[in-house]
Amino acid sequence: MGTFDNKTVIVTGASRGIGRAIAIDLARRGASVVVNYNASEAAAQEVVRAITDAGGKAIAFKADVSKADEAGALVKACIDTYGKLDILVNNAGTTRDTLLMSMSEADWDLVMHADLKSVFNCCKAAIRPMIRARGGRIVNIASVVGLSGQGGQTNYAAAKAGVIAFTKSLAKEVGSRNITVNCVAPGFIETDMTRALSEAQTTALMAQIPLGRLGQAADVAHAVA
């Protein structure tokens, strides 16, 4: 028996990186998973195969969760497929890094919608069925950058700080309904996003990390579980 037997989970942005690791880890622990993706259908289907080949349950579902109607459709798909929604992991997000004086309004808006509005959309869609079910778990993936700040990431840092404050506020709204809302704020994790950093940037980051290595996506998955 797994820890998450008979539990259903939505993981947004689950086709690669941290989201992929979370989806696979929760499925390994017994959960039935909805692997959400926006653009990377082949990668999402590969995550589903990795789960089902290991004996787990998973479906892939395309939704741009920065749009309210698509976030709602994602929640509906989980309930239609598995009968309920127990756990929501808001992981979807992106970066558009540049100094503020060079940042376009489009790059600001894109990160705000992908990283912060998506959390609002998915939580709003999930709360009502969780209240009806008398319980639920929401985990939002933030970032240490939302706590410490980072040059060249004013948009990303502001969005992730917003996720942290949103999490604390929603937790106070729904705690009495047996719904917990928490966030995990990873440090620098080895993903496609961080592989784009220059060698000098990576070396500078390593100097700040006591273990002397970047985190792995599996580290975050364990924290979420």
Catalytic residues, by residue number, are 156
What is the distance between the alpha carbons of residues 210 and 144, in angstroms, rounded to a whole number?
A: 15
**Which residues partner with 215 through β-bridges?**
189
Could you tell me the two tokens for 194?
């961080």
In the chain, helix, strand, coil percent, each to 5?
A: 55, 15, 30
Continuous H helices in 113-153? 118-132, 145-148
164 by DSSP, 3-state: which?
Answer: helix
Please list, in sequence order, all residues whose beta carbon lies within 8 angstroms of the beta carbon of residue 21, skipping any fewer than 6 positions away.
216, 217, 218, 220, 221
Could you tell me the two tokens for 63?
């939704």
What is the distance between the alpha carbons of residues 36 and 59, in angstroms, rounded to a whole number?
A: 9
CB 54, CB 27: distance < 8 Å: yes
Distance of CA 130 to the CA centre of its chain: 18
